[in-house]
Amino acid sequence: IVATALVTISLGRNALAKTCGRVERYINISVSDKYTRGMIFLPLRYLRVKWIDPLPTHERKFVMSYNSTFVLNLESDRERWAFFQRVNQKRMKDIQRIPSTLIHPELLIQKQIKGVEQSALVNDDDTELKTQQMYFDQYPALRYLAKHEGMGTAACSLSHLRLFQDLLDQDTSDYIVVFEDDIEILDPLLDNKIVLAPNNADLILLSQ
């Protein structure tokens, strides 16, 4: 925050906005993979939304439907799934359950092996392992989370990434709503279907 404030003061808000715009255009042209492009854009978009051209917060309506509303839940965690169904029974017909990802056992082993290339350990016949390895190679944030926050946190983030990728490939909705399985959806959100957010927000955190 301090660094951003100093850069903003030294360059000026308009100059910083133009610089970010040029960087965004360059990335858009130069980076062909849309998922990598999205990960690079995230900090730039945060900088733009928070510091450069913040827009007034206003009401944004959304509709919870089965094709745009999801809950992530481990297939083996029946207790959490039962809890989610019980406390959110008003809207279960509008929510699609998506299996969360468990970190592959081989990746748990690889984490403890030093001096060995991870890609050399991937079994060509194991599609799930190769998929998870691809994500860990493509998104350094997953490796950071696995190291500093634990494999559980990394698995949660990986589940979100996989869902986003699947939905981007389908390109069937302007927005999606994603819940985790340990929350209760409160009546004001269900009744009003309104969130407060600026126009230029890409992600809206409903709770913290």
Strands 194-197 and 58-61: antiparallel
Residue-level pLDDT at 47: 67
> Of 5-14, 18-27, 84-93, 167-176, where does mean pLDDT reach its minimum?
5-14
Dihedral sign for Cα atoms in the order 127, 129, 131, 137: negative
> Of 7-11, 68-72, 91-95, 143-147, where does mean pLDDT reach its minimum?
7-11
Q: List, for residues 59-75, the tens digit of each pLDDT value.
A: 777 778 888 899 999 99
Range from 136-140, 148-152, 157-161, 189-193 that averages highest in pLDDT: 157-161
* CA–CA dist 41, 208 (Å, integer): 23
Residue-level pLDDT at 173: 72
The pLDDT-based confidence of 99 (bands split at 50, 70, 90) is: very high
By the 8 A CB rule, do 81 and 89 touch?
no
DSSP secondary structure of 119-131: GGG--TT-HHHHH
Checking if the pLDDT of 191 tops 60, the result is yes
User: Across the chain, what does the average pLDDT equal?
Assistant: 76
- The pTM of this model reads 0.66
SS3 for 20-80, per residue? HHHHHHHHHHHCCCHHHHHHHHHHHHHHHHHHHCCCCCEEEECCCCCCCEEEEECCCCHHH
For the CA atoms of 122, 128, 132, 135, the dihedral, rounded to the nearest 10 degrees, stands at 110
Of 84, 93, 103, 86, residue with least CA distance to 179: 84
More confident residue, 157 or 13: 157
More confident residue, 2 or 103: 103
Residue-level pLDDT at 9: 46
The pLDDT-based confidence of 149 (bands split at 50, 70, 90) is: confident
| Cβ atoms within 10 Å of 139's Cβ, excluding its own | 18
Checking if the pLDDT of 92 tops 70, the result is yes
Q: List, for residues 10-51, the tens digit of each pLDDT value.
A: 556 667 677 777 777 787 778 877 667 666 766 776 666 666
Distance of CA 25 to the CA centre of its chain: 22
By the 8 A CB rule, do 177 and 70 touch?
yes
* CA–CA dist 155, 72 (Å, integer): 11
**What value does the mean pLDDT take over residues 168-183?**
82
* CA–CA dist 87, 140 (Å, integer): 36
By the 8 A CB rule, do 66 and 177 touch?
no
Distances (CA, A) of 55 to 44, 58, 175, 197: 16, 9, 19, 9
Cα Rg of the chain, angstroms: 20
Checking if the pLDDT of 184 tops 70, the result is yes
